[in-house]
A and B are shown apart, each in its own frame.
Chain A
Amino acid sequence: MTYLFWAFAAVWVGIFLYLYALTRRSQALAREVHALRERLEKTAPPSPSAAGRSRAGGP
């Protein structure tokens, strides 16, 4: 029956759309983390331990 199909189709489409929206948010997050990491590497000295020390020595 077509109604049965459309009901199940609606359920899967709805879920898929939400999962897609979540994935996009997750990707935006990944981009931001990447940008933050780049900014950190610019303002702090390149070596990881030095970066740790300069952060601790900050205000």
Chain B
Amino acid sequence: MLRSRDTVLAWITGAMMLIALYGAFVFAPPERVMGDIQRIFYVHLPLAWIGFVAFAHACWAGIWYLRTARREWDEAGVAAAEIGVLFSTLVIVTGSLWARPVWGTWWTWDPQLVTYLILWLIYVGYLVLRGAAGEDVRRARFAAVFAIVGFVDVPLVWLSARYLRALSPVIFTSRSVGLAPSMAWTLAAGLVAWSLFYWTLFRARLRIGLLETEVAALAGDGEVHG
């Protein structure tokens, strides 16, 4: 499944992941207020950032698909979106597991969480749309349009949620923690590791998608001639 350059990438990713893991559990000190539970942050934040980047990636692929009508862009879009759904699901799960011991509740309606929930809903909608859209060119076009609309929408959701929240302030503190240098380094390592992981995963998923359409085309040809 992997060629040599991708193999190197995979190994580097693995190594980075181990470093990030070491940082999260050993190198970084326990947080003063929350204790060890705060270590979820070192996974939660990179996943959240990469989830958003994946969506931007899908939007970018959508724009280029509309401009060039080349299938590779459509496959890139769906690959980015699938991985994005995976990552954002994990963000919501880890976020809840972090919120429960710290705030005593599984969920709150602060702007960041709302925006992320909507992001997740839009991603899932993207996949449902693709499932329902039928034939290739139309499906690719619809998916591209929705990826663009969805991505433009996310900052709008965030700003609106913040505006609404500012009108009726709720008493809770934001998620950001005061970062000691060792924590910052660990976070940086996590960001690098998960970015590499996304890239590795994306390339694998993209290759499978491209191969699938190629094989389907060949099989179709086989029917005609055979």
* A13 to B47 alpha-carbon distance, docked (Å): 15
Assess whether A46 is interfacial by the CB under 8 Å rule. Answer: no
Within 8 A of B (CB), among A21-54: 22, 25-26, 29, 32-33, 36, 39-40, 42-43
Given A10-B93, A14-B89, A18-B86, are A4 and B212 also a contact pair (CB < 8 Å)? no
Q: Mark B1-38, 1 if CB is under 8 A from A, else 0.
A: 10000000000000000000000000000000001110
Given A10-B90, A11-B47, A22-B204, are A3 and B101 also a contact pair (CB < 8 Å)? yes
Assess whether B149 is interfacial by the CB under 8 Å rule. Answer: no
Q: How many residues of B contact A (CB 8 A)?
A: 32
Given A4-B36, A25-B208, are A32 and B94 also a contact pair (CB < 8 Å)? no
Assess whether B129 is interfacial by the CB under 8 Å rule. Answer: no
B contact patch SS? helix
* Pair A11/B205 contact, Cβ less than 8 Å: no
Pick the interface stretch among B54-62, B119-127, B137-145, B215-223: B215-223
Q: How large is the interface on A (under 10, 10 to 19, 20 to 34, 35 or more residues)?
A: 20 to 34
Q: Mark B68-91, 1 if CB is under 8 A from A, else 0.
A: 000000000000001100100110
* Pair B225/A58 contact, Cβ less than 8 Å: yes
Of the candidates B43, B201, B212, the one whose C-beta lies within 8 Å of that of A8 is B43
Given A11-B43, A18-B83, 7 more A-B residue pairs with CB atoms under 8 Å apart are: A1-B101, A3-B101, A4-B97, A11-B90, A14-B86, A22-B204, A43-B226
The residues of B with any CB-CB pair to A shorter than 8 Å are: 1, 35-37, 39-40, 43-44, 47, 82-83, 86, 89-90, 93-94, 97-98, 100-101, 201, 204-205, 208, 211-212, 215, 218-219, 222, 225-226
The residues of A with any CB-CB pair to B shorter than 8 Å are: 1, 3-4, 6-8, 10-11, 14-15, 18, 22, 25-26, 29, 32-33, 36, 39-40, 42-43, 58
